[in-house]
Structure 1
Amino acid sequence: MPPSARPSESLLPPEAVVWAFRLLLGREPGEEELDRHRRHASPEALRRALVPETYAAPLWLLAPPASTLVPWIFEPPRLSRPTSQLCTASQFDEPDYAAWCATIAEAPRPHRKQWEFCWILAALRAADAIRPGARALGFGVGTEPIPAMLASHGVEVVATDAPPEIVAEQGWGSTHQHSEDLTRLHRSELLEEAEFRQRVTFRPVDMNAIPRDLRGFDACWSSCCFEHLGGIAPGLDFVENSLETLRPGGVAVHTTEFNLGSNEHTLETPGLSYFRRRDIEGLLERLAARGHAVWPLNLHPGDSPLDAYIDTPPYALPHMKIEALGQISTSIGIVVQRAG
C-alpha cells in the first residue's frame, strides 16, 4: 500500500518528526512538512529523507563497453543531441527541455518521468519521425501526452496499452495510468478532438506478443514499460521484437529502469525489473551484430550536485535518481534503427 493510502494510525507520531527536524536540521518543521514526513514507513526512513544518501558513480559504470560493436561516448548527455543516455540534472536546464515541455503543454519540473517524454520526442525528432505523414506506434501509452503531441504535428499514431486481462492481473487499473480507448489520450490544448481522432487509433496489445499486422511504422516508442513484462529476458526480447514493427531504417525509442548501484545484483520480479548495464549492453551488442544501427551508449551519470541526490519515499522533487526496494535507479533511454 502506498504511503498516502496508509491508515492514520500507522503514521509516525508528530513528535518524532519534530524531534528529527530539530536534531538533524536544527529547525522546526512547517505544517506541510510535518504532514508529509509523518507518512514515512519508519523512523529510519524519516532519517534518510532528511539526511539523504548521495550517489557516487561506481567504476563499472565509467568503463567503455567490452564489445566494439556497441558505440560509446562518455560525456554529460544533452537533449539537444540525444543518444542512448541516462536522465541527468543538466538536461533539465537546457532550453530544449522547456521547449519540449511546451509541446506537451506541461510546465517543466525536475522529474524523470517528464524527462522520458522529452527525451523520447527529442530522439524521434532527431530521427526525422515527427513530420506530417509519418507513422508511429506507441506501446503501453497509459495516459501520456506523446500520442496527442505527435498527432498535432501530423503524425499518424497507433496507440496501444495492455489488454484488460493483463491490467487486472497486474493491478494497474487502480493506478489510473492505463488507457482502454482514446478518451484519456486527447489533449485539447494541443489539438481539436476531431483532428486527434482522425490521426490516432487505439488497440489493446500485449507487449509480450506483438500482433503481426502491426508493421511498416516509421517509429515506435515506449515510456518505462518493458520493465513490467515478467523479467529481464522478456523485457529485452520486447525491445528486439519491437523492431519488427518498423520499416527498414525505422527507429525504436524506449525508456526503462536502469540499476545505478550494481552490475551484478538487481531487482527482477514478474511485475518489475531493473536493468543492469550488462543487460542493456548485451542487448545492444546483439542488435548491432544483427545489422541494426545502435545509437551511441552514454552512461555518464551527471556531474551536478543534483546528480548526487537520491530521492526516497515518499517521493518529491527533484526526482531523478531514486531508491526503491533496496535499489538505486534512474531512467535510461535507448535508440535502435532497424537494419535497411
Structure 2
Amino acid sequence: MARKDTASVAGWLYARMRTWWRADLRSELWGLLPRIDSSNRPQTNPLAQALKDNANLRWNMKVLASALAEQAYATGRAGPLAPIPAEPQRVGLRSKLCCQADIEAAWARHWCGQLHLTPLYRRGVWELCFVLQAVWEAGLLAEGKSGLGFAVGQEPLPAYLASRGVSVLATDMGGVVDPARLWRGVAGHAAQIGDLARPPYLEGVPFWKTGAFRAMDMAAIPEDLENGFDFCWSVGAFGHLGSVEAGLVFVETSLKSLKPGGIAVHTSEFNLDGSGESTDNWPTVLFRTQHLDDLAGRLAAKGHELLAVDLDAGSGLFDRFIDHPPYEHDPHPALGYPSAPHLKLSVDGFPMTSIGLIIRKVAA
C-alpha cells in the first residue's frame, strides 16, 4: 500500500473512531468492510479500497511459491523424484526446528519411504519423520519395545510402529472432538482401533496383534499407564490444550508413562516472531524460547534431560516463505489449489514452524 493511501485510510479511520463509541455506530465499521454494499455496488470508502485486493494478492503469492516448489521438486532434492534411501541414517538428532534442509536430507527421505509419503516441503511430513528418527536413534524401533501415542488422530505412526513389532498403545479423545485435529485439518480423530489400521504398513497383519487403542484425554494420563513404556510421542498436539502452561505440564507429565531411561518425542508450534509477543490462553498457542528454557529447567530439576535445542530455522528459500490461509484443507472454491510450501506459516498473524522435542527420562 502506498504511503499516500495509508495516510488516507488512517485519517478516515480516525475521523470515525470518535463516533464509534456509540453502539449504534460501531456496526458502521463492519458494514464498510465487504467489497460490495447492500445494493451490490463496489464500496468506495478508503478502507474497502485498501483491502479489496488483499485476498487476491495473497493468492498470487501462494501460486508463485508453488511454482518455485515445483521447480525444486524437479531437481530431485525433494518431492516425487527424490531418491528414497533403503536404510535409515544416524545423524545425532536432537531437539530442533523444522527446516527445508531436513526434508531434503537422506534421513527424512528414508522415513517418507517407510510411511509411503512423498517428501514434500510440509511441516506435517517433517514431524512424522522427526518422531521416527528419534525413536530409531534411541534403539527403540524394534520388536519387543513399547510405545504410547497421544492424540494420534488418524496419523500413520501407530500402524507403522506396530508393523515393526513395537507394542503400541494409541490414544485419542475417542468420541470427543479433538480441537487439535480440527485446527490441523486432519480427517477426524481416532474413535476405535479400526481407525488406525493401515494395510500398506501392516501387510495383512491385524493392528491389534501388536497394537491397541484407548480413548483418553492427553491432559489426564491414568495412573495405570505409568512406568510402562519405552517411549511416548505426540504430533502437533500439546500446543492445543488451551494455554502454554497446559502444554508444558503435559510434556512434563508424559514422562510418567515411561520406564526409567525412556524417551518422549513431542512436536508442536514454535513462534518465529522476534517481537516478544505470542498467543496464549487460546485453542492454538505458540511456544517461544523462554518457554523451552522453563521446560528444560523443570525437567532438569527432576533429573530428566531435554536434548539440546537447535533453534536454527534454516536458510533455504522455503524456510523464508511464510504460508498463509487459505491452507490446503481450506481450498479456494473456484481456482485450482496451489500446493505451496508449508514449512513456515502464519497462525493468528505470527510466523511459526514446528519444533521437535526429545526428552530422556532419568534412569533409575
Find the partner of 1:111 among 104, 107, 122: 122
Give me the whole-angstrom Cα distance separating, in 2, the residues matched to 1:182 and 1:296. 36
The residue number in structure 2 matching 1:286 is: 298
Give me the whole-angstrom Cα distance separating, in 2, the residues matched to 1:122 and 1:187. 20
Give me the whole-angstrom Cα distance separating, in 2, the residues matched to 1:137 and 1:144. 14
The residue number in structure 1 matching 2:210 is: 199
Q: Percent identity?
A: 37
Amino acid at match of 1:275: F
The residue number in structure 2 matching 1:62 is: none
Going from structure 1 to structure 2, the CA distance change for 1:133 and 1:209 (only over 3 Å counts) comes to same
Residue 230 of structure 2 aligns to a residue in which SS? strand
The residue number in structure 2 matching 1:226 is: 238
Equivalence map 1:329-340=2 (5 Å): 329-340=352-363
Amino acid at match of 2:194: T
Tell me which structure has the larger Cα radius of gyration. 2
Give me the whole-angstrom Cα distance separating, in 2, the residues matched to 1:282 and 1:180. 34
The residue number in structure 2 matching 1:318 is: 341
Deviation at 1:170, TM superposition (A): 9.2
Name the TM-score, length of structure 1 as normaliser. 0.76
2:109 is the alignment partner of 1:86: no
Give me the whole-angstrom Cα distance separating, in 1, the residues matched to 2:349 and 2:225. 38
Residue 280 of structure 1 aligns to a residue in which SS? helix
Residue 189 of structure 1 aligns to a residue in which SS? helix
Residue 301 of structure 1 aligns to a residue in which SS? coil
Name the TM-score, length of structure 2 as normaliser. 0.71
Give me the whole-angstrom Cα distance separating, in 2, the residues matched to 1:304 and 1:289. 37
The residue number in structure 2 matching 1:45 is: 55
Equivalence map 1:11-160=2 (5 Å): 43-51=53-61, 80-160=91-171
Going from structure 1 to structure 2, the CA distance change for 1:196 and 1:278 (only over 3 Å counts) comes to same
Deviation at 1:285, TM superposition (A): 2.1
Amino acid at match of 1:267: T
Deviation at 1:175, TM superposition (A): 5.3
Deviation at 1:168, TM superposition (A): 8.7
Give me the whole-angstrom Cα distance separating, in 2, the residues matched to 1:97 and 1:131. 19
Once the two structures are superposed, residues 166-200 of structure 1 have per-residue CA deviations (whole angstroms, 9 ceiling, x without a partner) of 54999789953301012221111111454421111
Give unpaired runs (5+ residues) of structure 2.
Answer: 1-33, 37-50, 66-88, 328-338
Give me the whole-angstrom Cα distance separating, in 1, the residues matched to 2:179 and 2:57. 36
Give me the whole-angstrom Cα distance separating, in 1, the residues matched to 2:343 and 2:184. 25
Give me the whole-angstrom Cα distance separating, in 2, the residues matched to 1:218 and 1:105. 25
Going from structure 1 to structure 2, the CA distance change for 1:300 and 1:170 (only over 3 Å counts) comes to closer
Maintained 8 Å contact 1:251/1:336: yes
Going from structure 1 to structure 2, the CA distance change for 1:165 and 1:329 (only over 3 Å counts) comes to same
Maintained 8 Å contact 2:346/2:352: yes
CA-atom RMSD, angstroms?
2.8
Maintained 8 Å contact 1:158/1:202: yes
Equivalence map 1:304-315=2 (5 Å): 304-315=316-327
Task: Tell me the matched-pair count.
Answer: 280
Maintained 8 Å contact 2:172/2:190: yes
Once the two structures are superposed, residues 218-239 of structure 1 have per-residue CA deviations (whole angstroms, 9 ceiling, x without a partner) of 0000000011111110110000
Give me the whole-angstrom Cα distance separating, in 2, the residues matched to 1:98 and 1:233. 34
Give me the whole-angstrom Cα distance separating, in 2, the residues matched to 1:119 and 1:146. 11
Maintained 8 Å contact 1:84/1:295: yes
The residue number in structure 2 matching 1:242 is: 254
